[in-house]
Amino acid sequence: MQAIEQKPRSLKNVSVNLRGLTILIADPGNFMRRVIYGMLRGFGANRILEAADAADVLSALMQQKIDILILDAKLPPHNGLAVTQAIRRNTDNENRTLPILIMTSDAQQSTVKEARDAGANMVVAKPMSPTTLYDRLVWIAFDRRQFIDCPTYFGPDRRFKIEGYPTGVGRRASDRIEVAAATEPNLEQDDIDSLFQAARAGQSE
Amino acid sequence: MTAKTPPNVRIFSVKTRFQELAQRPGGVPRELAIQQAESQIADIKPEFIGWVDHELQQLTQALRKATDRNVDNAALDEIQFRARQLRDTGTTMGFVLITFIADNLCRVIDTVKNGAPYDGEVVDCHVDALNLARQDAYRSLGPDDVPEMTRGLHRMLERANRSIPGRAG
């Protein structure tokens, strides 16, 4: 099996080439899909598909090879995490290991953990800027995590050594937004990323 | 330290097609890619307010179905779906206040789903605030720029949180 290249120490000047890749955007909001579509076109993507619900996603996955799925955590009828689990558990589908980027407007720690435990590669908080989305895509492109297949989980390794956040890749100060008080604090994008790479071996939180 | 892998656990490397192709040289340089994406967003900005108006109409229709005495999960889901869409796109389209108000509304609906009584007036207030925030004069404003509105919406949310059974006080 071919080894995956080492992740560069800094991704600040790294670009991704999205041309020819089939990207599936799954979000129930038509305007949200347009926004993401626009961003991806700006990044150079030229094969972008859209899905409004889980049935559309699963149908697209059965019909063709999807290279990356950008998936809303609240995708109807159940949610995007259930879709993620369904994809990871389907041993017959060649898309089983495809990268899944979960978008959530509820970036609370519990949601992020659930996304990680469902088998997502990364979580991005909505609303998102082009910079944030681009950096998540770069992250996934250079992510060298192994996959774990065990009776209770299939997906990217949730346990790996803390490497820190790549220098120069992060949210812009202007991405911050004040929101109302919550029963559980929302996480910053950096926290989400940390959580996703968070744990040392054997440490689940 | 290397831990032994249990027999029923398989650990393997995957290099996806996404990784293979995304790492190819010739991609749009990062700064240019972001600039082009922002340009694409700018192109659809003129349609945003029309879409917001449509969403607010849908929200108002959903509110009519949800009276104080008779509110079901389907009506709450509909209100929350509309609010979530506004929250998710507002800031990206330059309307930070829309995201703030819609986020507050989503949280209020969460409290109702957690057992707090539904208060149509609270939801109406959020819709009024959204109608205000969609105006050009409010485009570049954030919650700090409209402290009275922000405090009022926060208070509503706090009150709703307190009225969840078991969370009083």
How many CB contacts within 8 angstroms connect chain A with chain B? 196
What are the chain B neighbours of A126 within 8 Å (beta carbons)? 87-88
What are the chain B neighbours of A130 within 8 Å (beta carbons)? 33-34, 37-38, 41
Output the pLDDT for position A180.
37
Confidence of residue A170 (pLDDT cuts 50, 70, 90): very low
Contact, A37 vs A50, CB < 8 A? yes
ipTM of this predicted complex?
Answer: 0.89
Q: What is the DSSP letter of B163?
A: T
Helix (H) or strand (E) holding A63: helix A54-63
pTM for this predicted structure: 0.83
Output the pLDDT for position A2.
41
Q: Which residues have C-beta within 8 Å of that of residue B135, sequence separation ≥ 6?
A: none
Residues paired with residue A147 on neighbouring β-strands, in sequence order: A156, B12
Confidence of residue A67 (pLDDT cuts 50, 70, 90): very high
The string of pLDDT tens digits covering residues A171-182 is 444 433 333 344
Output the pLDDT for position A4.
43
Measured distance CA(A93)–CA(B80) in Å, rounded: 34
Contact, B111 vs B88, CB < 8 A? no
Output the pLDDT for position A168.
38
Would the CB atoms of A201 and B3 count as touching at under 8 Å? yes
The string of pLDDT tens digits covering residues B42-91 is 999 999 999 999 999 999 888 887 765 567 888 899 999 999 999 999 99
CATH topology of domain B44-162: Four Helix Bundle (Hemerythrin (Met), subunit A) (1.20.120)
Contact, B92 vs A35, CB < 8 A? yes
Output the pLDDT for position B72.
82
Q: List the domain boundaries for chain B.
A: 44-162
The number of residues making up chain A comes to 205
Question: Please, what are the averages of pLDDT over each run of 10 residues along chain B (169 residues)?
Answer: 72 94 95 97 95 93 75 87 95 95 96 92 94 92 96 96 79
Residue A181 exposed, middle or buried by CB count within 10 Å (0-12, 13-18, 19+): exposed
Q: Where are the alpha helices (DSSP H) in chain B?
A: 17-22, 30-65, 73-90, 96-113, 120-133, 147-162
SS3 (DSSP) at A90: coil
Output the pLDDT for position B73.
84
Q: In chain A, what's the furthest Cα-to-Cα distance?
A: 49
CB nearest to B104's CB, from A43, A143, A180: A180
Share of chain A above pLDDT 90, in %: 60
Query: Is the confidence at residue A147, as pLDDT, over 50?
Result: yes
Would the CB atoms of B27 and A17 count as touching at under 8 Å? yes
Question: Which site among A35, A159, A172 would you substitute to test the B interface, given the most B Cβ atoms closer than 10 Å to its Cβ?
Answer: A35
Measured distance CA(B92)–CA(B74) in Å, rounded: 28
Q: What is the mean pLDDT of residues A177-196?
A: 54
Output the pLDDT for position A119.
96
Query: Is the confidence at residue A144, as pLDDT, over 70?
Result: yes
Query: Is the confidence at residue A7, as pLDDT, over 80?
Result: no
Q: What is the DSSP letter of B3?
A: P
What are the chain A neighbours of B81 within 8 Å (beta carbons)? 28
Output the pLDDT for position A186.
59
Output the pLDDT for position A106.
80
